[in-house]
Structure formats: C-alpha cells, structure tokens
Amino acid sequence: MSPLDASIRYLEHLRNAWDHAHPEAPFAEQDVTVTIPASFDPAARELTVEAAKAAGCSSLTLLEEPQAALYSWIETSGAGWRKQVKPGDVILVVDVGGGTSDFSLIAVLERDGNLELHRVAVGDHILLGGDNMDLTLAHVVARKLAAAGTTLDAWQLRALTYACRSAKGKAARRYRSTGATHRCPQRGSKLIGARSAPS
C-alpha cells in the first residue's frame, strides 16, 4: 500500500468514527486541521492534502507539528506566555516523534506594542526518534543481561523493546523514573513460563 493510500484509509476511518459519533454535524461540514512534520517538502504536503480531500475533508488547513505544539503551549499558558518571553527571545520547539525528530526556532518580535511569534528556522528531518530510544534502552538492558549470562534472541529483544517503550511511557507520566521490573519471555517448549529480568 502506498503512503497516500494509507493516509486515505486512516482519514476515512476518522471520518466514519466522527460521523457515527456526531450524525448531527457531518465530518464533511467541519473545518479540519491536519498536523504535519515541519520538514515535509511541497510534494509531501500536496499528497497530504490529496489524501484529506479523498477522505472527505472539504475545508482543510495544514499546520506544522512544532507550530501546533507552540499554539498548545500558548493556549495552556493563557495570557501568561507574554510574561515568559520578551522581544528578541528565540523559542526552540523540539518535536520527537516515533522515528524522527524536528527542531524549529520561533522568534519573539514586537509590532505596534504587541508580541508576535515568527518561525525563523526549521532543522533537518533527523531520522532519530522515540522508536530509536526504545531500541537503545532494550540494547542496554540486553547487554546487562548478557553480562549476567543470559543471551536474548531476536524475538526476546523485540519483546524487551516493547517493554522498554511501556516503561519509558510510565516514567514520562511520572516525570521521573523510579525503576521498574519487566518480564522477558523465555524460549522453550513450555506453553507458560518466564524468568524475571530486572530492567
């Protein structure tokens, strides 16, 4: 399946879910905002628009993800954001996705006594993201297990990677890691059975 077809499919799914939940306000009549990576080139943007239209979006706005994050910060801060920045400041927005990271610089300017935010730079699309971090954590744990005499095969490493993703999410929700214990599946003929592997 092409990326265009995949985009159409999941947007159609969202449309159908919306129409089911809100029959009084059809999806086709809504103003839809689709967020995209800042590093999308014109061709990727055009394909996103094409997918959205094919899925039934009649009124569409594309919004870059770092800009959306900035708008969310402004909304959450209320009027307080104006006290946290001053003309001449530059805000760095870091967008770490599943497999990529994007960086945007937003300049704080003053015009007619009002603060304005203008994007001044977008970093290269770095192929490093959350999935890479999960895999790195899994390899760190696997090395510790190997040092203790336990070698993991590819299937076990995959399971350990998913466990690390889960642990990372829990730690992020608590704002700090307090440690966790996860089970690493064992290979063998038993239907049920595992040894605990601290991580």
pLDDT of residue 3: 85
Answer whether residue 172 is part of any domain: yes
**Size of the chain, expressed as the number of residues it contains:** 199
Answer whether residue 96 is part of any domain: no
Answer whether residue 84 is part of any domain: no
Number of structural domains in the chain: 2
* Domain interval for residue 176: 130-198
Answer whether residue 83 is part of any domain: no
Positions in the chain short of pLDDT 70: 99, 124-129, 171-199
3-class SS of residue 7: helix
Element (H, E) at 191: none
pLDDT of residue 179: 53
Residue pLDDT, tens place only, 132-153 = 778 888 888 889 988 998 888 8
pLDDT of residue 188: 46
What is the C-alpha R_g of the chain?
22
Of 49, 65, 81, the domain-final residue: 65
Residue pLDDT, tens place only, 74-95 = 899 888 888 888 999 999 988 8
pLDDT of residue 27: 92
Answer whether residue 179 is part of any domain: yes
pLDDT of residue 193: 43
Answer whether residue 138 is part of any domain: yes
